[in-house]
Structure formats: structure tokens, C-alpha cells
Structure 1
Amino acid sequence: MESRLITFVVLCLSVAVTARSDSYYSNTKPANPNEEKVTRIQFYLHDILSGQNPSAVRIAHANLTGSADSPVGFGSLFVMDDPLTVGPEKDSKEIGNGRGMYVSGSKDMSKFTIVMYADLAFTEGKFNGSSISVFSRNPVAEEAGEREIAIVGGRGKFRMARGFVKIKTHQIDMKTGDAVLRYDATVYHY
């Protein structure tokens, strides 16, 4: 009698466990709304295409859209591992890196625009281990003023981030494509 009862209990538990594992989702529950935070961060991104140790490298170039020696010709695809620093100087304290890619998306160099995806990761200070993700059009030729790109997500302390980055060109060399850019990020996160 006792062994039948144990068998019955084990059978019931295994049916309950099997039924539960059948589902590929959980019940939708309302989010526990914490107060949203706004964080403003200013840093410099160094995008260096020239020299022996570039931080961005062209990995593809369309043959039909211009000279192969053009540093940023239309249709060129770049991968980047750019340092993020506190100041614009090359030897300024490094606080992270911007890794991702961008493509030259304009035929007219006077309206030079890139479309970029980058994960801007912080490796120092309060936001060490966190990052913001940007995916946006970046109208580089508007160097006289600020331009804006979208923050579409993040990791760590910036999980579920949204917001924008105002970019101002600090320095650019149109011969080499090297640039130092000031990023003023406004990050909304929980």
C-alpha cells in the first residue's frame, strides 16, 4: 500500500513538472516601475584610421564608388575599437572603448554621413562594466554644429537604456580620416 502511494505521488509530481516545462514563456506580469534615472556623461572618442596601430579599419570597399585610396569613400565598411577618454588629448585617461562598425552612407562628400552601430563600454569608475549602445545615422559633415545619434540600449547600470548622444567634432583630418569627437550622452535608464 505504501509503495503504491509513493508511486502515485511521484507520478503526480512528474506530470506537474512535465506540464510546466512544456511552456516556452512565463505569464506576463506588470513591471515593477522603479524611478527612471537620467545620467549625463561626457567623453571623447578617438577614431584613428592612419598609422601602424589604427583603432578603425576598413574591411570592405565598393569598387564602383570611388578611389580605393579614399579613407572614407561611399560604401566603405569599417570596424572600430576606438578608445574613450576623459579629454581630447591622445594621452588623456582612457575610460573605455567604442566597439562596433560604421558604413559610409553618402555619395556627396560635402554631406558626408555614416551609419553606425557601436557599443560604448566603460572600463573605469562608477560605470565600469556598463555600456550604452548606439545605432544611428551620423551626419559627419555637420562638423560646425552638434549632431545627434540615438541610444538604443545598454548593459550593466545602463540596462534598458534609451536616450541620445550629442557629438561635436573636436578635430578631424579629411586626408587620413582620423577624428577626435566629443560625446555628450544623455542616458535614461532604471
Structure 2
Amino acid sequence: MASFLTSIMVSLYLALIIPATVSASGTFSKHFAKTELTPTVRKITRLHFYFHDIVSGKNPTAIKIIAPKNSFGMTAMIDDPLTIATKPGSTVVGRAQGLYALASQHDSALLIVMNIAFTYGKYNGSELSVMGRNRVLDAVREMPVIGGSGVFRFARGYALANTVRYNPKTGDAVVQYNVTVIH
């Protein structure tokens, strides 16, 4: 009988006292009115830069992390410089950091998952996140911008990519990006 009463008392304590203590100590979540969360003035920003994907040499900016026997599934980690001109020595405005993987068995299509981290000018410290399908043999490829941080908080938009230069011997490439975002 004593163990039954002890069980009841412990159960009541757990059911009544602990939830009251937890709710008094803080809030897990809070709902905001749409006007509190969404900026009242939205901006459209258009960005233009060049992506230098260097897989050869002593200091590659893209390295294979998965290299299967056939090309399907090949995955590379990237930390590619983004510049204002096609020349590698031109002003670096940021880095493309993430990965790409050959995700199609039937054509040359990559899965792109990358953050565009800006390191120069008024966008320094801000980022855009791009994720999507990149059919590398198409003249122009469109990928979604799915988010951002800093100046680009709540960003959404698209990135258009076209290859400016590709070296089939080394695999190195320069890709022009035109990015349009609403933020």
C-alpha cells in the first residue's frame, strides 16, 4: 500500500510540478504576426561574378571526395573564389563553398549545394544559399536561390550560370553567374 501511495505522489509531482516549472523558466517558441517578421520594403538585387572551379594543380579549389568507377555519383567539395572578372587574379568578392555531385545516370547534370559567402564591399559577411540541378552542357543553367543571411536575410531568387571557359585536360572551369534575389 505504501509503494502505491508513493507511486501516486511521484506521478502527481511529475504531472503537475515539473510542467509548471518548465513553462515558468522560458518559452520554446513564439508566433509572430507576418508584419513583425517580413520586411516592409523588399529589395531586388542583381549580382554578377565569375566562379573559378580549379580541380588541377597544387592548390585546387575543388576536390573529389567520392570518385566511383563510372562518373555517376562523383562528388566534389568546393571552396571556389568568386571574382569580378574572368581572370583568376581579379578582385575576389567572395567564395562558393559547398559541394556538387553528378546526380544523373543519363546526362551531365550536377546536384549543386553551395553557399555564396561574400567577403568584399557592402555584401561582406552576407551569404546566399543555392541548391538545385545544373545541366552543365546547357548554354545557360538556372538554379534556385533558397535563402540567405546578413543583407540577404529571407532571400529568394535564381542564379543563371554559363560556362565562359573550360579546359577538358585539367577540368578547370570559369563560370559566369548572374544572380537575382528578392530580400
In structure 2, what is the equivalent of residue 159 of structure 1?
153
User: Of 94, 104, 107, which residue of structure 1 is paired with 2:105?
Assistant: 107
1:61 and 2:67 matched: yes
Specify the code of the residue in structure 2 equivalent to 1:25: S
Shift of 1:152: 0.4
In structure 1, what is the equivalent of residue 127 of structure 2?
131
Aligned residues: 163
Distance 2:83 2:164 in 1: 13
Shift of 1:61: 1.8
Alignment of 1:20-169 (within 5 A): 20-21=24-25, 23-32=27-36, 33-63=39-69, 66=70, 73-108=71-106, 111-142=107-138, 145-169=139-163
Shift of 1:126: 1.0
Distance 1:165 1:121 in 2: 14
Cα distance change on mapping 1:75 and 1:18 into 2, 3 Å? closer
Q: Superposition RMSD on alpha carbons, in Å?
A: 1.9
Aligned identity (percent) is 39
In structure 2, what is the equivalent of residue 171 of structure 1?
165
Distance 2:168 2:120 in 1: 31
Instruction: Kindly provide the CA deviation profile for residues 71-91 of structure 1, in whole angstroms up to 9, marking residues without a partner as x.
Output: xx2211100000000000111
Shift of 1:30: 2.9
Instruction: Kindly provide the CA deviation profile for residues 47-78 of structure 1, in whole angstroms up to 9, marking residues without a partner as x.
Output: 01011110000011223xx2xxxxxx221110
Shift of 1:187: 0.8
Shift of 1:177: 1.7
Shift of 1:17: 8.0
Shift of 1:174: 2.5
Specify the code of the residue in structure 2 equivalent to 1:50: S
In structure 1, what is the equivalent of residue 9 of structure 2?
none
TM-score, normalised relative to structure 2: 0.83
Name structure 2 gaps, 5 residues minimum: 1-19
In structure 1, what is the equivalent of residue 12 of structure 2?
none
Partner-residue secondary structure (3-state), 1:62: coil
Instruction: Kindly provide the CA deviation profile for residues 12-37 of structure 1, in whole angstroms up to 9, marking residues without a partner as x.
Output: xxxx9864435421244333341111
Specify the code of the residue in structure 2 equivalent to 1:45: F
Runs of at least 4 residues of structure 1 off by over 6 A? none
Distance 1:48 1:20 in 2: 55
Specify the code of the residue in structure 1 equivalent to 2:123: F
Name structure 1 gaps, 5 residues minimum: 1-15, 67-72
